Amino acid sequence: MQRDISLISRYGLVFAFIAIIVLFSVLRPDAFLTTRNFGSIMSDNAVLMLIALGIMVPLVVGQFDLSPGFVASLGAMLTAGLLTRQGLPWPAVLVIVVLVGCAIGLLMGILVGYLQLNSLIVSLGVGSAISGFVLLYSNGEIIFNGIPASFTVIGQTRLFGFLPLPFIYAMIAAIVIWYVLTYLPVGRRLYAIGGSQEASRLIGININKYIAISFVVSSGMASLAGFVQVARLGAGHPTSAQAFLLPAFAAAFLGATAIRPGFYNIWGTVIAVFLVGAGTTGLFMLGAQAYVQPIFNGAILVLAVTLSRVAVLRRAKALARAAAMRDTTPPAAVASNA
């Protein structure tokens, strides 16, 4: 019984994702259950996935970054502007855009990690300043004239007529971050800081440095998301990427309820992104009005935070129970079990 509950807890999000696909496939088999629609869901949510993966890294160390939506908008406008106004090749634009994002993340990381300012206030303030700069840079206008077709190819091509390139970029980023968090010392230290800053400090971990690193990753991923968004759409919009912030947080929190319940993790976040994306697409196919999406995203976020907190409490209770059992087990019993 306990094993079944643990299985449901760990893979419940996967089961929910499958249930959503089955539900909308039954309700709209002509539109939802098609390779074209699944390809569109993967392409439409690739940018959200990049932002959610970035947001997850500061969450691992117990910090909140509210700036990725603004940073992604800046990345999109810089991408469109550098391509059309300066005529730079897109590889050079990619490097510049990501470096700008990383510089913004480094600034926030220094303020939060080394000066120990509140991450919510810092990221919101920096995001607001970025929003103003984006409007100044773009004059509040969409930039689309002069974006070369050779650039949009990297965002609009579908391999085998089905698999969109933006989804592949997002999956490569997910694999890289997963490997770093799972197998490299930096990943273990990030999780250790999120578990207990005091304990991490006592064992010699440079907490300030790793908090700064988490913000660099978050902003760098947001800038990359803005770049990919322009490649997908063939235009840069000064505010469109800001709408990704809420569903990205919902995906990160919801992801912490699966695969490794109680921990922010890559594959839980990836599944959550496409669960939200499939749910939103299915609702629109059933004729839902535009106001349904923000209601759906808000409800998912509240539910995700609640479930994530429950997962953390269950993990803490299980650890406490295991510790109590070790303390109360007679030495002879421990020796015989060994």
What residue ranges of the chain have pLDDT lower than 70? 1-9, 304, 307-308, 311-312, 315-316, 318-319, 322-338
Token reading at 78: 């810089």
- Find the helix packing angle between 266-285 and 46-60, rounded to 10°: 140
User: Which residues have CB under 8 Å from 187's CB, separation 6+?
Assistant: 180, 181
φ and ψ of 98, to 5 deg: -65, -40
For residue 331, count other CB atoms closer than 10 A to its CB: 7
CA distances from 144 to 77, 149, 187 (A): 10, 11, 39
* pLDDT score, position 295: 81
* pLDDT score, position 315: 65
For the residues of 145-172, what is the DSSP string, one character each?
A: TT--HHHHHHHH-EETTTEEHHHHHHHH
* pLDDT score, position 239: 86
Are 72 and 225 in contact, with CB atoms under 8 Å apart?
yes
* pLDDT score, position 334: 42
φ and ψ of 103, to 5 deg: -65, -40
> What SS3 state is found at 249?
helix
Are 216 and 237 in contact, with CB atoms under 8 Å apart?
no
Q: Given phi > 0 = left and psi -120 to 50 = alpha, else beta, which region is 88?
A: beta
User: Which residues have CB under 8 Å from 66's CB, separation 6+?
Assistant: 120, 123, 124, 127, 245
Residue reference for tokens 């060994």: 338
User: Which residues have CB under 8 Å from 219's CB, separation 6+?
Assistant: 54, 65, 67, 68, 71, 101, 102, 104, 105, 108
For residue 166, count other CB atoms closer than 10 A to its CB: 25
* pLDDT score, position 211: 96
User: Which residues have CB under 8 Å from 232's CB, separation 6+?
Assistant: 43, 46, 47, 152, 155, 156, 166
Pairing of the two strands 158-159 and 163-164: antiparallel
